[in-house]
A = this chain, B = another copy of it.
Amino acid sequence: MSERIIIIGGGAAGPKTAAKLRRERPDFIIDLYTQEDIISYSACGLPYYIENIIQSSDSLIVRTPDDFRKQNINIHTKQKCIKIKTNEKKILIEDLNSNKQYEAEYDILVLATGAIPIIPEIKGINLKNIFTLRTIQDGINIKEKMLTSKKALLLGGGYISVETLEAFVHNGLKVTLIEKNSQILKMFDEDFAHRITDYIIGRNPGQVSILTGEEVIEFKGDENQEVKKVITSSGKEIETDFVVLGTGVRPNTDFLLDSEIKLGINNSIKVNSTMRSSKCGIYAAGDCCEKYNLVTNRYTWLPMGSTANKEGRCAAINIAGDSCNFDGILNSTITKYFDMTISIIGISYKEAKELGFQPEFAIVTKRDKAGYMPNPGTVTLKLIVDKNTRTILGVQGIGDGDVNRRINTVIPAILSKTKLETFMNLDLPYSPPYSPAIDPVLNAAQIIYQKLN
Protein backbone atom coordinates (compact mmCIF):
# COMPACT_ATOMS: atom_id res chain seq x y z
CA MET A 1 0.00 0.00 0.00
CA SER A 2 1.22 3.50 -0.78
CA GLU A 3 2.30 5.73 2.06
CA ARG A 4 -0.12 8.53 2.84
CA ILE A 5 1.82 11.76 3.43
CA ILE A 6 0.12 14.81 4.90
CA ILE A 7 1.90 18.13 4.81
CA ILE A 8 0.54 21.07 6.83
CA GLY A 9 1.57 24.49 5.57
CA GLY A 10 1.78 26.18 2.20
CA GLY A 11 4.59 28.75 2.48
CA ALA A 12 8.07 27.63 1.44
CA ALA A 13 8.92 24.40 3.29
CA GLY A 14 5.60 22.61 2.71
CA PRO A 15 5.42 22.97 -1.06
CA LYS A 16 9.17 22.24 -1.33
CA THR A 17 8.72 19.01 0.61
CA ALA A 18 5.74 18.04 -1.55
CA ALA A 19 7.47 18.75 -4.87
CA LYS A 20 10.72 17.03 -3.96
CA LEU A 21 8.92 14.03 -2.47
CA ARG A 22 6.81 13.64 -5.60
CA ARG A 23 9.96 13.54 -7.76
CA GLU A 24 11.50 10.91 -5.47
CA ARG A 25 8.39 8.81 -4.91
CA PRO A 26 5.70 8.78 -7.63
CA ASP A 27 3.82 6.14 -5.61
CA PHE A 28 3.16 8.16 -2.44
CA ILE A 29 -0.19 9.87 -1.82
CA ILE A 30 0.58 13.46 -0.94
CA ASP A 31 -1.95 15.87 0.58
CA LEU A 32 -1.04 19.44 1.52
CA TYR A 33 -3.35 21.48 3.79
CA THR A 34 -3.02 25.24 4.21
CA GLN A 35 -5.20 27.79 5.94
CA GLU A 36 -4.43 30.38 3.24
CA ASP A 37 -6.02 30.48 -0.19
CA ILE A 38 -2.76 30.45 -2.07
CA ILE A 39 0.42 28.41 -1.59
CA SER A 40 4.07 28.53 -2.55
CA TYR A 41 4.72 32.26 -2.55
CA SER A 42 7.70 34.39 -1.66
CA ALA A 43 6.91 36.41 1.46
CA CYS A 44 10.44 37.87 1.22
CA GLY A 45 9.41 39.62 -1.99
CA LEU A 46 6.52 41.56 -0.38
CA PRO A 47 8.51 44.75 0.39
CA TYR A 48 9.52 44.96 -3.29
CA TYR A 49 5.91 44.49 -4.34
CA ILE A 50 4.90 47.34 -2.01
CA GLU A 51 7.76 49.49 -3.35
CA ASN A 52 6.34 48.79 -6.81
CA ILE A 53 9.59 47.35 -8.17
CA ILE A 54 7.32 44.35 -8.74
CA GLN A 55 3.97 45.46 -10.14
CA SER A 56 1.78 42.41 -9.66
CA SER A 57 1.44 40.35 -6.50
CA ASP A 58 0.95 37.32 -8.75
CA SER A 59 4.66 37.50 -9.60
CA LEU A 60 5.42 36.39 -6.05
CA ILE A 61 3.58 33.11 -6.52
CA VAL A 62 6.11 30.43 -7.37
CA ARG A 63 3.55 27.76 -8.22
CA THR A 64 -0.24 27.65 -8.05
CA PRO A 65 -2.36 24.89 -6.51
CA ASP A 66 -3.13 23.76 -10.09
CA ASP A 67 0.58 23.40 -10.84
CA PHE A 68 0.81 21.05 -7.89
CA ARG A 69 -2.35 19.15 -8.82
CA LYS A 70 -0.78 18.44 -12.20
CA GLN A 71 2.01 16.70 -10.29
CA ASN A 72 -0.59 14.63 -8.46
CA ILE A 73 -0.17 16.55 -5.22
CA ASN A 74 -3.54 17.24 -3.56
CA ILE A 75 -3.74 20.84 -2.39
CA HIS A 76 -6.38 21.82 0.18
CA THR A 77 -6.56 25.59 0.65
CA LYS A 78 -8.44 27.38 3.45
CA GLN A 79 -8.19 24.24 5.55
CA LYS A 80 -6.75 24.86 8.99
CA CYS A 81 -5.19 22.17 11.14
CA ILE A 82 -6.62 22.51 14.65
CA LYS A 83 -5.03 19.57 16.37
CA ILE A 84 -2.94 16.54 15.71
CA LYS A 85 -3.80 13.17 17.22
CA THR A 86 -0.44 11.46 17.18
CA ASN A 87 -1.60 8.14 18.61
CA GLU A 88 -4.35 7.74 16.04
CA LYS A 89 -2.18 9.19 13.24
CA LYS A 90 -4.91 11.67 12.40
CA ILE A 91 -5.19 15.42 12.13
CA LEU A 92 -8.26 17.48 12.89
CA ILE A 93 -8.99 20.11 10.26
CA GLU A 94 -11.38 23.01 10.08
CA ASP A 95 -12.71 24.01 6.68
CA LEU A 96 -12.51 27.81 6.83
CA ASN A 97 -15.22 28.13 4.17
CA SER A 98 -17.86 26.10 5.99
CA ASN A 99 -16.35 26.11 9.52
CA LYS A 100 -16.94 22.36 9.58
CA GLN A 101 -14.36 20.08 11.15
CA TYR A 102 -13.15 16.74 9.87
CA GLU A 103 -10.26 14.33 10.27
CA ALA A 104 -7.59 13.07 7.89
CA GLU A 105 -5.33 10.06 8.36
CA TYR A 106 -1.62 9.95 7.65
CA ASP A 107 1.26 7.51 7.67
CA ILE A 108 3.80 10.31 7.71
CA LEU A 109 3.05 13.88 8.75
CA VAL A 110 5.10 16.95 7.86
CA LEU A 111 4.62 20.12 9.91
CA ALA A 112 5.51 23.21 7.90
CA THR A 113 3.22 25.77 9.46
CA GLY A 114 5.70 28.62 9.36
CA ALA A 115 5.68 31.69 11.56
CA ILE A 116 3.09 34.30 12.48
CA PRO A 117 3.46 37.95 13.44
CA ILE A 118 3.72 38.93 17.08
CA ILE A 119 1.05 41.50 17.86
CA PRO A 120 2.17 43.71 20.74
CA GLU A 121 -0.36 44.46 23.50
CA ILE A 122 -0.67 48.20 23.04
CA LYS A 123 -3.75 50.31 23.65
CA GLY A 124 -5.52 50.94 20.35
CA ILE A 125 -3.82 48.04 18.55
CA ASN A 126 -7.15 47.07 16.96
CA LEU A 127 -7.64 50.38 15.16
CA LYS A 128 -7.92 50.31 11.38
CA ASN A 129 -4.80 50.79 9.21
CA ILE A 130 -2.48 49.01 11.61
CA PHE A 131 -0.98 46.27 9.46
CA THR A 132 1.28 43.28 9.77
CA LEU A 133 3.27 42.10 6.73
CA ARG A 134 3.33 38.35 6.31
CA THR A 135 0.86 37.28 3.62
CA ILE A 136 0.27 38.49 0.10
CA GLN A 137 -3.05 40.00 1.22
CA ASP A 138 -1.11 42.01 3.85
CA GLY A 139 1.13 43.31 1.08
CA ILE A 140 -1.83 44.25 -1.11
CA ASN A 141 -3.49 46.10 1.79
CA ILE A 142 -0.34 48.03 2.71
CA LYS A 143 0.44 48.99 -0.88
CA GLU A 144 -3.09 50.24 -1.43
CA LYS A 145 -2.96 52.34 1.72
CA MET A 146 0.55 53.65 0.95
CA LEU A 147 -0.51 54.94 -2.45
CA THR A 148 -3.03 57.37 -0.87
CA SER A 149 -0.93 58.28 2.19
CA LYS A 150 1.67 60.89 3.05
CA LYS A 151 2.92 59.62 6.40
CA ALA A 152 3.73 56.15 7.67
CA LEU A 153 4.93 54.75 10.95
CA LEU A 154 6.95 51.58 11.31
CA LEU A 155 7.11 49.82 14.63
CA GLY A 156 10.29 47.78 15.11
CA GLY A 157 13.72 48.09 13.51
CA GLY A 158 14.37 44.69 11.99
CA TYR A 159 15.02 43.69 8.39
CA ILE A 160 11.39 43.84 7.29
CA SER A 161 11.06 47.37 8.65
CA VAL A 162 14.19 48.49 6.80
CA GLU A 163 12.89 46.97 3.56
CA THR A 164 9.42 48.47 4.03
CA LEU A 165 11.02 51.81 4.89
CA GLU A 166 12.77 51.80 1.50
CA ALA A 167 9.43 51.06 -0.16
CA PHE A 168 7.70 53.99 1.54
CA VAL A 169 10.58 56.46 1.05
CA HIS A 170 10.82 55.46 -2.60
CA ASN A 171 7.13 56.33 -2.92
CA GLY A 172 7.58 59.77 -1.37
CA LEU A 173 6.18 59.19 2.12
CA LYS A 174 7.50 60.71 5.31
CA VAL A 175 8.27 57.81 7.62
CA THR A 176 8.95 57.43 11.34
CA LEU A 177 10.55 54.21 12.56
CA ILE A 178 10.29 53.45 16.28
CA GLU A 179 12.52 50.85 17.89
CA LYS A 180 12.49 50.06 21.60
CA ASN A 181 16.11 48.89 21.67
CA SER A 182 18.98 51.38 21.61
CA GLN A 183 19.72 50.51 17.96
CA ILE A 184 17.97 49.17 14.89
CA LEU A 185 19.03 45.75 13.50
CA LYS A 186 19.97 44.40 16.89
CA MET A 187 21.99 41.46 15.54
CA PHE A 188 24.65 43.96 14.39
CA ASP A 189 27.24 45.55 16.61
CA GLU A 190 26.31 49.06 17.70
CA ASP A 191 28.96 50.73 15.49
CA PHE A 192 27.56 49.10 12.36
CA ALA A 193 23.94 49.79 13.38
CA HIS A 194 24.90 53.46 13.71
CA ARG A 195 26.56 53.53 10.29
CA ILE A 196 23.43 52.01 8.77
CA THR A 197 21.17 54.47 10.60
CA ASP A 198 23.31 57.40 9.42
CA TYR A 199 23.06 56.20 5.83
CA ILE A 200 19.27 55.81 6.05
CA ILE A 201 18.78 59.25 7.58
CA GLY A 202 21.29 60.93 5.25
CA ARG A 203 20.02 59.41 2.03
CA ASN A 204 16.67 61.25 2.13
CA PRO A 205 17.11 64.21 4.47
CA GLY A 206 13.89 65.21 6.24
CA GLN A 207 11.98 62.20 4.99
CA VAL A 208 12.95 59.63 7.62
CA SER A 209 12.99 59.77 11.43
CA ILE A 210 14.41 56.88 13.43
CA LEU A 211 13.60 56.89 17.13
CA THR A 212 15.48 54.30 19.18
CA GLY A 213 15.01 53.50 22.88
CA GLU A 214 11.39 54.53 22.43
CA GLU A 215 8.18 52.52 22.74
CA VAL A 216 4.69 53.12 21.46
CA ILE A 217 2.31 53.14 24.43
CA GLU A 218 -0.89 54.02 22.59
CA PHE A 219 -2.38 54.24 19.12
CA LYS A 220 -5.03 56.97 18.79
CA GLY A 221 -7.74 56.89 16.16
CA ASP A 222 -10.45 59.10 14.73
CA GLU A 223 -14.23 58.64 14.75
CA ASN A 224 -13.91 55.98 12.03
CA GLN A 225 -11.58 53.98 14.25
CA GLU A 226 -8.70 54.71 11.84
CA VAL A 227 -5.30 55.20 13.43
CA LYS A 228 -4.16 58.85 13.30
CA LYS A 229 -1.30 59.11 15.74
CA VAL A 230 0.87 57.24 18.23
CA ILE A 231 1.94 58.22 21.72
CA THR A 232 5.44 57.14 22.74
CA SER A 233 7.00 56.28 26.07
CA SER A 234 8.82 59.61 26.20
CA GLY A 235 5.57 61.46 25.57
CA LYS A 236 5.98 62.19 21.86
CA GLU A 237 2.84 62.35 19.72
CA ILE A 238 3.50 61.35 16.11
CA GLU A 239 0.88 61.70 13.41
CA THR A 240 0.59 59.02 10.78
CA ASP A 241 -1.78 57.77 8.11
CA PHE A 242 -1.07 54.13 8.88
CA VAL A 243 1.19 51.79 10.84
CA VAL A 244 3.11 48.66 9.92
CA LEU A 245 4.06 46.36 12.78
CA GLY A 246 7.52 44.92 12.36
CA THR A 247 7.53 43.59 15.88
CA GLY A 248 8.73 40.14 15.05
CA VAL A 249 7.29 36.74 14.33
CA ARG A 250 6.99 33.51 16.29
CA PRO A 251 6.61 29.86 15.25
CA ASN A 252 3.05 28.95 14.29
CA THR A 253 2.82 26.05 16.73
CA ASP A 254 0.02 26.91 19.17
CA PHE A 255 -1.96 23.87 17.94
CA LEU A 256 0.89 21.65 19.18
CA LEU A 257 1.05 22.97 22.74
CA ASP A 258 -0.89 20.04 24.17
CA SER A 259 0.58 17.42 21.82
CA GLU A 260 3.43 14.99 22.48
CA ILE A 261 5.67 16.83 20.07
CA LYS A 262 8.59 18.46 21.85
CA LEU A 263 8.98 22.19 21.40
CA GLY A 264 12.16 24.18 21.92
CA ILE A 265 13.20 27.81 21.68
CA ASN A 266 10.22 30.18 21.21
CA ASN A 267 7.99 27.09 21.03
CA SER A 268 9.60 26.03 17.76
CA ILE A 269 9.44 22.33 16.93
CA LYS A 270 12.49 20.33 18.01
CA VAL A 271 13.95 18.38 15.08
CA ASN A 272 17.10 16.38 14.53
CA SER A 273 19.35 16.81 11.49
CA THR A 274 17.10 14.55 9.40
CA MET A 275 14.12 16.86 10.16
CA ARG A 276 12.40 14.24 12.34
CA SER A 277 10.47 15.61 15.31
CA SER A 278 10.39 13.89 18.70
CA LYS A 279 7.43 11.77 17.57
CA CYS A 280 8.05 8.89 15.18
CA GLY A 281 6.58 9.46 11.71
CA ILE A 282 6.28 13.22 12.16
CA TYR A 283 8.71 15.52 10.41
CA ALA A 284 8.92 19.29 10.52
CA ALA A 285 10.58 21.87 8.25
CA GLY A 286 10.82 25.62 7.83
CA ASP A 287 10.02 28.56 10.09
CA CYS A 288 8.07 26.44 12.61
CA CYS A 289 11.26 24.47 13.49
CA GLU A 290 14.05 25.05 15.88
CA LYS A 291 17.49 25.61 14.29
CA TYR A 292 21.00 24.66 15.34
CA ASN A 293 23.60 27.41 15.23
CA LEU A 294 26.89 25.96 13.98
CA VAL A 295 28.95 28.89 15.28
CA THR A 296 27.66 28.97 18.84
CA ASN A 297 26.77 25.26 18.99
CA ARG A 298 23.45 26.21 20.59
CA TYR A 299 19.86 25.91 19.50
CA THR A 300 18.34 29.06 18.09
CA TRP A 301 15.38 30.19 16.06
CA LEU A 302 15.67 32.24 12.89
CA PRO A 303 12.97 32.10 10.20
CA MET A 304 14.48 32.23 6.70
CA GLY A 305 13.05 31.26 3.31
CA SER A 306 16.34 29.78 2.16
CA THR A 307 16.61 27.53 5.23
CA ALA A 308 12.97 26.49 4.81
CA ASN A 309 13.70 25.35 1.26
CA LYS A 310 16.74 23.34 2.32
CA GLU A 311 14.92 21.75 5.23
CA GLY A 312 11.93 20.85 3.07
CA ARG A 313 14.21 19.21 0.56
CA CYS A 314 16.04 17.33 3.31
CA ALA A 315 12.79 16.13 4.90
CA ALA A 316 11.54 14.87 1.52
CA ILE A 317 14.73 12.89 0.86
CA ASN A 318 14.48 11.20 4.25
CA ILE A 319 10.76 10.48 3.89
CA ALA A 320 11.47 8.97 0.49
CA GLY A 321 13.82 6.50 2.13
CA ASP A 322 17.19 8.01 1.29
CA SER A 323 19.35 9.76 3.81
CA CYS A 324 20.08 13.47 4.10
CA ASN A 325 21.25 15.71 6.93
CA PHE A 326 20.70 19.39 7.52
CA ASP A 327 23.21 20.23 10.21
CA GLY A 328 22.33 23.81 10.99
CA ILE A 329 22.71 27.46 10.17
CA LEU A 330 25.17 30.30 10.58
CA ASN A 331 22.51 32.99 11.17
CA SER A 332 23.28 34.35 7.70
CA THR A 333 21.15 37.33 6.73
CA ILE A 334 21.27 40.07 4.13
CA THR A 335 19.16 42.98 3.03
CA LYS A 336 19.60 46.30 1.31
CA TYR A 337 18.52 49.87 1.77
CA PHE A 338 18.66 51.50 -1.65
CA ASP A 339 22.36 51.24 -2.67
CA MET A 340 23.60 49.93 0.67
CA THR A 341 23.97 46.18 1.12
CA ILE A 342 23.60 45.15 4.77
CA SER A 343 24.67 41.68 5.87
CA ILE A 344 25.76 39.71 8.91
CA ILE A 345 26.92 36.10 9.22
CA GLY A 346 27.69 34.23 12.41
CA ILE A 347 27.81 36.33 15.55
CA SER A 348 28.68 39.95 16.35
CA TYR A 349 31.56 41.06 18.55
CA LYS A 350 29.06 41.89 21.28
CA GLU A 351 27.43 38.46 21.12
CA ALA A 352 30.82 36.75 21.01
CA LYS A 353 31.75 38.49 24.28
CA GLU A 354 28.43 37.55 25.86
CA LEU A 355 28.88 33.91 24.90
CA GLY A 356 32.31 33.71 26.48
CA PHE A 357 34.48 33.73 23.35
CA GLN A 358 37.69 35.78 23.32
CA PRO A 359 36.96 37.82 20.22
CA GLU A 360 39.28 40.11 18.28
CA PHE A 361 38.08 42.16 15.33
CA ALA A 362 39.14 44.35 12.43
CA ILE A 363 37.13 46.89 10.47
CA VAL A 364 38.21 47.79 6.93
CA THR A 365 36.67 50.22 4.47
CA LYS A 366 38.00 49.66 0.94
CA ARG A 367 37.17 50.16 -2.69
CA ASP A 368 35.84 46.97 -4.16
CA LYS A 369 38.01 47.03 -7.30
CA ALA A 370 41.52 48.19 -8.25
CA GLY A 371 42.04 51.82 -7.24
CA TYR A 372 42.49 53.02 -10.82
CA MET A 373 39.28 51.46 -12.19
CA PRO A 374 36.32 53.80 -12.70
CA ASN A 375 33.12 53.71 -10.60
CA PRO A 376 34.41 51.82 -7.60
CA GLY A 377 32.01 50.79 -4.86
CA THR A 378 32.91 50.76 -1.20
CA VAL A 379 32.77 47.84 1.19
CA THR A 380 33.07 48.11 4.97
CA LEU A 381 33.68 44.83 6.71
CA LYS A 382 33.98 43.86 10.36
CA LEU A 383 35.59 40.48 10.77
CA ILE A 384 35.49 38.73 14.15
CA VAL A 385 37.92 35.98 15.14
CA ASP A 386 38.18 33.91 18.29
CA LYS A 387 41.65 34.44 19.82
CA ASN A 388 41.79 30.96 21.34
CA THR A 389 41.00 28.91 18.26
CA ARG A 390 42.01 31.57 15.68
CA THR A 391 38.83 30.73 13.75
CA ILE A 392 36.27 33.15 12.36
CA LEU A 393 33.14 33.75 14.43
CA GLY A 394 31.35 36.19 12.20
CA VAL A 395 31.44 39.01 9.69
CA GLN A 396 29.34 42.14 9.20
CA GLY A 397 29.35 44.01 5.91
CA ILE A 398 27.83 47.21 4.58
CA GLY A 399 28.41 49.43 1.56
CA ASP A 400 27.45 50.21 -2.00
CA GLY A 401 30.14 47.87 -3.37
CA ASP A 402 30.03 44.09 -3.72
CA VAL A 403 29.62 43.36 0.00
CA ASN A 404 27.79 40.11 -0.58
CA ARG A 405 30.72 38.50 -2.40
CA ARG A 406 33.06 39.22 0.52
CA ILE A 407 30.49 37.97 3.01
CA ASN A 408 29.94 34.79 1.04
CA THR A 409 33.68 34.15 0.91
CA VAL A 410 33.76 34.01 4.70
CA ILE A 411 30.82 31.61 5.11
CA PRO A 412 32.45 28.27 4.23
CA ALA A 413 35.48 29.36 6.27
CA ILE A 414 33.29 29.91 9.34
CA LEU A 415 31.67 26.53 8.81
CA SER A 416 34.96 24.69 8.34
CA LYS A 417 36.65 26.53 11.19
CA THR A 418 39.44 27.57 8.84
CA LYS A 419 42.36 29.10 10.72
CA LEU A 420 42.93 32.83 10.35
CA GLU A 421 46.41 32.27 8.86
CA THR A 422 44.96 30.05 6.15
CA PHE A 423 42.05 32.34 5.39
CA MET A 424 44.34 35.38 5.17
CA ASN A 425 46.17 33.82 2.22
CA LEU A 426 43.10 32.44 0.46
CA ASP A 427 43.57 32.34 -3.31
CA LEU A 428 40.73 34.61 -4.42
CA PRO A 429 40.73 35.31 -8.15
CA TYR A 430 42.12 38.73 -8.96
CA SER A 431 41.44 41.05 -11.83
CA PRO A 432 41.26 44.88 -11.64
CA PRO A 433 37.50 45.13 -12.44
CA TYR A 434 36.70 42.79 -9.54
CA SER A 435 38.97 43.61 -6.63
CA PRO A 436 42.18 45.18 -5.44
CA ALA A 437 45.16 42.78 -5.61
CA ILE A 438 44.48 41.92 -1.97
CA ASP A 439 40.75 41.64 -1.46
CA PRO A 440 39.25 43.70 1.41
CA VAL A 441 38.12 40.54 3.21
CA LEU A 442 41.72 39.28 3.25
CA ASN A 443 42.89 42.73 4.41
CA ALA A 444 40.60 42.40 7.40
CA ALA A 445 42.06 38.98 8.21
CA GLN A 446 45.63 40.33 7.85
CA ILE A 447 44.87 43.13 10.32
CA ILE A 448 43.56 40.70 12.93
CA TYR A 449 46.63 38.51 12.34
CA GLN A 450 48.82 41.54 13.08
CA LYS A 451 46.87 42.30 16.24
CA LEU A 452 47.22 38.74 17.51
CA ASN A 453 50.98 38.41 16.79
Annotate A43-82 by CB proximity to B: 1 below 8 A, 0 otherwise.
0110010000110000110100000000000000000000
Residues of A343-383 contacting chain B, CB below 8 A:
343, 345, 370-374
Taking CB atoms, residues of chain B closer than 8 Å to A425 are 310, 314, 325-327
A310–B402 Cα distance when bound, in Å, is: 22
A306 interface residue, CB < 8 Å from B?
yes
In this complex, the member of A322, A370, A372, A442 whose beta carbon has the largest number of chain B beta carbons within 10 angstroms is A372
B54 touches A373 (CB 8 A): yes
Instruction: Determine the distance from Cα of A190 to Cα of B410 in the docked complex, in whole angstroms.
Output: 31
A149 at the interface (CB under 8 A from B): no
Total residues of chain A contacting the partner, CB 8 A = 75
Q: List residues 362-415 of chain A with CB under 8 A from any CB of chain B.
A: 370-374, 402, 404-413, 415
- Asked if A431 and B372 sit within 8 Å, CB to CB, the answer is no
From known contacts A373-B54, A418-B412, A421-B324, infer whether A306 and B430 are also in contact, taking CB-CB under 8 Å.
yes
- Complex Cα distance, B219 from A264, in Å, reads 77
Q: A45: which B residues are within 8 A, CB to CB?
A: 370, 372-373, 432
Could you say which residues of chain B place their CB within 8 Å of the CB of A54? 372-374
Q: Is A453 an interface residue (CB 8 A)?
A: yes
CA distance A410 to B412 in the complex (A): 8
**B411 lies within 8 A of A411 (CB):** no
Given contacts A405-B402, A433-B336, contact A411 B438 (CB under 8 A): no
**Are A437 and B53 CB-contacts (below 8 A) given A404-B429, A453-B322?**
no
Residues of chain A from 187 to 203 with CB closer than 8 A to chain B in the complex: none
A330 touches B12 (CB 8 A): no
Residues of B contacting A310 with CB < 8 Å?
425, 438, 442
B-side contacts of A405, CB under 8 Å: 402, 404-405, 408
Task: For the complex, give the distance between the alpha carbons of A404 and B306 in Å.
Answer: 20
Residues of B within 8 A of A416 (CB): 412-413, 416, 418
Docked complex Cα distance between A406 and B434 (Å) = 13
| A334 proximal to B (CB < 8 A) | yes
Q: How far is the CA of A336 from the CA of B300 in the complex (A)?
A: 42
**Complex interface bits, A178-191 against B, C-beta within 8 A gives 1, otherwise 0:** 00000000000000
